[in-house]
């Protein structure tokens, strides 16, 4: 069973701090990884994706991928209360560009 | 553009009843997906359609059938609903811009309760 593992949290950070969300995956065939944000009662929305080793930055968000360690992370700088949500990590199933395997999500709370 | 739309938003069924969840997208995407989301289980793929005319099983297909009616529409059918199918169902669509890019756009979800 190919798995994507996330710490379910909750992760609580003060406003303005850096929030660090982590994800590990078991499928070495997975090539690309996606971070989705899901507000309570809403549908997931994509924040960013990454497929190369290293860092990828987009505004306050930085995704990091380490294929050797099978580890993906998302850093949120200058966290805001509006960032409070569940963050879902997903990886494409090796051999298929269409199938995404999602982690169970990490609940982030940013305290004013 | 409405993006991905789903109907109904809420539904309550009795065990053994059947129903069809409807999904439509107006982004001209080739690929469409059905997921279910249960507390503590994350999103799990039920079926997907890589392109019009094709459908494939995902992680949890048992108890479901799908129809890719045309490029815009992808429906999910429960032939004989069971309490274990109580869940939130999300439809999604994507256009693979490259071999590594599968940004999926999600509909608002259908909250289904089976009594």
pLDDT tens per residue across span A62-100: 999 999 999 999 999 999 999 999 999 999 876 666 788
Residue B42: per-residue pLDDT = 85
Residue A108: per-residue pLDDT = 96
Half-sphere exposure of B32 (CA within 13 A, CB side): 32
CB atoms within 10 A of CB A94: 14
Residue B99: per-residue pLDDT = 61
Residue A95: per-residue pLDDT = 62
Report chain B residues whose CB lies below 8 A from the CB of A100: 45, 102, 104
Report chain A residues whose CB lies below 8 A from the CB of B107: 43
User: Measured between alpha carbons, how far is residue A32 from residues A67, A98, B89 in Å?
Assistant: 10, 11, 24
To test the contact with chain A by mutation, choose from B4, B23, B25, B42 the residue with the greatest count of A C-beta atoms within 10 A, namely B42
For A48, the token pair is: 């960013």
Q: Do B109 and A43 touch (CB under 8 A)?
A: yes
Residue A34: per-residue pLDDT = 93
To test the contact with chain B by mutation, choose from A1, A34, A98, A103 the residue with the greatest count of B C-beta atoms within 10 A, namely A98
To test the contact with chain B by mutation, choose from A39, A53, A97 the residue with the greatest count of B C-beta atoms within 10 A, namely A97
Residue B1: per-residue pLDDT = 74
- Yes or no: say if A15 and A111 are a contact pair by the CB < 8 Å rule: yes
Residue B71: per-residue pLDDT = 94
- Residue B48 sits at the chain A interface (C-beta within 8 Å): yes
Residue B97: per-residue pLDDT = 61
* Cβ under 8 Å to A: B residues 1-20: none
CA distance B10 to chain A (A): 12
Could you tell me what percent of chain B has a pLDDT over 90?
82
Find the mean pLDDT for residues A44-52. 92
Alpha carbon distance B28, B7 (integer Å): 19
């Amino acid at each position: 069973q190919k798995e994507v593992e996330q710490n379910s949290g909750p992760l609580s950070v003060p406003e303005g701090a850096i929030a660090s969300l982590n994800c590990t995956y078991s499928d070495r065939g997975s090539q690309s990884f996606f971070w989705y944000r899901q507000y309570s009662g809403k549908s997931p929305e994509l924040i960013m994706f990454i497929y190369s080793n290293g860092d990828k930055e987009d505004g306050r968000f930085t995704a990091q991928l380490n294929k050797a360690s099978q580890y993906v992370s998302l850093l949120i700088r200058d966290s805001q209360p509006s960032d409070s949500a569940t963050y879902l990590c997903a990886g494409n199933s090796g051999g298929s560009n269409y199938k995404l395997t999602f982690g169970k999500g990490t609940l982030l709370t940013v305290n004013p | 553009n409405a993006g991905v739309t789903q109907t109904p938003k809420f539904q309550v069924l009795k065990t053994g009843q059947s129903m069809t969840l409807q999904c439509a997208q107006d982004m001209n995407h080739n690929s469409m997906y059905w997921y279910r989301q249960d507390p503590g289980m994350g999103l799990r793929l039920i079926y997907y359609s890589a392109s019009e005319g094709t459908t494939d099983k995902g992680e949890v297909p048992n108890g479901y059938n799908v129809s890719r009616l045309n490029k815009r529409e992808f429906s999910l059918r429960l032939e004989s609903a069971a309490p274990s199918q109580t869940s939130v169902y999300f439809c999604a669509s994507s256009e693979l811009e490259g071999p590594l890019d599968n940004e999926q756009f999600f509909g608002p979800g259908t909250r289904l309760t089976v009594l």
